[in-house]
């Protein structure tokens, strides 16, 4: 038994579901996703978990898996460690959540009420901006002309500017049609703000109707599209070139990156 004055080092909490075959502190284990089934000692695994936890905790933005792989020692099974760390925090006041291909610590959903007083109330979006955001979310990649066709009214550039300044919408590329119009899509910040892991998690027709967001009687041909979940350029798109970025005001003359409008 340790003396009352001695400091005790508590072991890293274990998740409810075991991810290793090790039963004793000194045994080695193989983490899920470990390339080539490389054996990792318990001491090394715990150190890797501590390193990953420190990186995620210190970051003010969601951390990409690729960045975690770069910061951790070579050959570390990043996905396996993330799953174990996520399980370890599943019952805590903060949870480790996946946001697209990124990871971040977030307050547990059932404890959000504790932070309501400290929350900064964001600027309210206009109805037009909400409609445009919804169209981009469900129809991306989508051009401004396509947005206007769906809404049935003209869309001002200012509406798109507000959504891009909020960090929820980005310019994806150019459509391979006459005039090469810009295509728009959502960002990881959009997923983070609305608590989505991926764009496919947007509510479907039944969920929207259940929440009272759809009229009880809809046209027989009314459909809600399945959102495209890929950030990759589609076959009918071209990626934005430096010249495109300069023309759109996203790149200052000479090649230095500028701020989005």
pTM of the model: 0.58
Q: What is the pLDDT of residues 146-167, one digit of tens each?
A: 999 999 999 888 899 999 999 9
Residue 174 lies in a domain: yes
Residue 200 to residues 127, 186, 196, Cα–Cα distance (Å):
23, 12, 9
**Strand (E) or helix (H) holding 209:** helix 205-210
Residue 195 lies in a domain: yes
Residue 226 lies in a domain: yes
Q: What is the pLDDT of residues 26-67, one digit of tens each?
A: 444 545 444 444 677 888 999 999 999 999 999 989 999 999
Residue 39 lies in a domain: yes
Mean pLDDT of all residues in 164-182: 92
Least Cα distance to 172 among 154, 162, 160 occurs for 160
Do 186 and 242 reside in the same domain of the chain? yes
pLDDT band at 13 (very low <50, low <70, confident <90, very high): very low
Specify the range with the lowest mean pLDDT, choosing from 24-38, 139-153, 163-177, 243-257. Answer: 24-38
CA–CA separation, 56 vs 37, rounded Å?
Answer: 26
Domain count, the chain: 2
Residues sharing a CB contact under 8 Å with residue 91, sequence separation 6 or more, in sequence order = none
Report the pLDDT value the prediction gives residue 22, as an integer from 0 to 100.
Answer: 39
Residue 214 lies in a domain: yes
Which of 76, 109, 142 finishes a domain? Answer: 109
Do 147 and 101 reside in the same domain of the chain? no
Residue 116 lies in a domain: no
Do 182 and 135 reside in the same domain of the chain? yes
Do 137 and 71 reside in the same domain of the chain? no
Residue 212 lies in a domain: yes
Q: What is the pLDDT of residues 180-225, one digit of tens each?
A: 999 999 999 999 988 888 888 888 877 877 777 666 666 777 677 7
Residue 180 lies in a domain: yes
Do 132 and 235 reside in the same domain of the chain? yes
Q: What CATH number does the domain containing 105 carry?
A: 1.10.10.10
At residue 86, φ and ψ (nearest 5 deg) are: -65, -40
Tell whether the model's pLDDT for residue 119 goes beyond 60: no
Q: What is the DSSP letter of 243?
A: H
Tell whether the model's pLDDT for residue 103 goes beyond 90: yes
> Domain range for residue 159?
127-247
């Amino acid at each position: 038994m340790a003396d009352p004055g001695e400091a005790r080092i508590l072991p890293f909490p274990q998740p409810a579901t075991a991810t290793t075959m090790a039963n004793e502190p000194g045994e080695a284990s193989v983490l899920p996703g470990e390339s080539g089934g490389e054996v990792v000692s318990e001491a090394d695994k715990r150190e890797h978990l501590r390193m990953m936890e420190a990186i995620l905790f210190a970051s003010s933005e969601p951390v990409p898996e690729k960045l975690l792989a770069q910061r951790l020692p070579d050959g570390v099974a990043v996905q396996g460690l993330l799953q174990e760390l996520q399980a370890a925090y599943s019952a805590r006041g903060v949870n480790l959540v996946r946001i697209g291909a990124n990871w971040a610590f977030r307050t547990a959903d059932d404890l959000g009420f504790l932070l309501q007083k400290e929350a900064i109330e964001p600027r309210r979006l206009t109805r037009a901006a909400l409609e445009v955001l919804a169209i981009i979310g469900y129809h991306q990649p989508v051009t401004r002309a396509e947005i206007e066709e769906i809404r049935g009214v003209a869309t001002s550039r200012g509406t798109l500017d507000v959504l891009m300044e909020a960090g929820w919408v980005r310019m994806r590329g150019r459509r391979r049609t006459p005039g090469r119009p810009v295509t728009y899509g959502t960002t990881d910040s959009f997923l983070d703000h609305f608590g989505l892991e991926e764009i496919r998690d947007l509510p479907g027709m039944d969920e929207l109707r259940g929440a009272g967001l759809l009229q009880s009687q809809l046209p027989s041909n009314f459909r809600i599209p399945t959102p495209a979940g890929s950030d990759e350029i589609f076959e009918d798109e071209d990626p934005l070139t430096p010249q495109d970025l300069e023309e759109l005001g996203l790149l200052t003359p000479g090649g230095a990156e500028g701020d989005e409008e």
